[in-house]
């Protein structure tokens, strides 16, 4: 089974994400990558730079930019079981005009028990785990009882 990894970064963290991708590109090969907007274009360039000419066959799905709906597209993919791992380097110091979308994306990742890294250290731990190379299926919590509450 080929893992699908979502890679996202806020503007002030794109450099960190690209450095991380360049350092870990061998671990990302043969994985399906899903990226929002500009992050995806930069990741494609970084991977092409590290691979011999003509050898780039990496599948990279480019979604819309986060503020233009990319975060919501990614959340939908998570809820459909199409994302195995989320690397989202968000900027804790810069207010984002789409903070509600970011919060919704992180909420969906937690609800669907998708391993999520919000910094490079955690991303390193995730892709060096023995589970990264296995057919790991996260245990899902049934939240349907929450829908029946009279609030």
Catalytic residues: 71
User: What is the mean predicted confidence (pLDDT) over 95-107?
Assistant: 80
Q: pTM for the whole thing?
A: 0.88
Q: State the helix-helix crossing angle for 14-23 and 120-128, rounded to 10 degrees.
A: 30
User: What is the mean predicted confidence (pLDDT) over 94-101?
Assistant: 71
How many domains in the chain? 1
The model's confidence at residue 91, banded by pLDDT at 50, 70 and 90, is: confident
pLDDT in tens, 17-37: 999 999 998 899 889 999 998
CATH of the domain at 10: 3.40.50.1380
Contacts with 34 (C-beta within 8 Å, 6 or more apart), sequence order = 4, 5, 6, 7, 60, 61, 63, 74, 77, 82, 83
pLDDT at 50 over 90: no
Q: Domain containing 43: what range?
A: 4-147
């Amino acid at each position: 089974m080929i893992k699908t990894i979502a890679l996202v970064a806020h503007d002030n963290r794109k450099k960190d994400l690209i450095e991380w991708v360049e350092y870990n590109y061998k671990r990302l090969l043969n994985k399906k990558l899903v990226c929002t907007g500009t992050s995806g274009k930069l990741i494609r360039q970084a991977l092409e730079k590290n691979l011999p000419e003509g050898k780039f066959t990496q599948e990279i799905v480019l979604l819309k930019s986060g503020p233009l709906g990319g975060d919501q597209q990614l959340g939908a993919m998570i809820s459909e079981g199409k994302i195995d791992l989320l690397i989202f380097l968000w900027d804790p110091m810069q207010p984002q005009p789409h903070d509600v979308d970011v919060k919704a994306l992180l909420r969906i990742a937690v609800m669907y028990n998708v391993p999520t890294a919000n910094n490079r250290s955690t991303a390193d731990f995730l892709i060096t785990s023995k589970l990264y190379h296995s057919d790991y299926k996260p245990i899902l919590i049934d939240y349907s009882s929450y829908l029946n509450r009279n609030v």
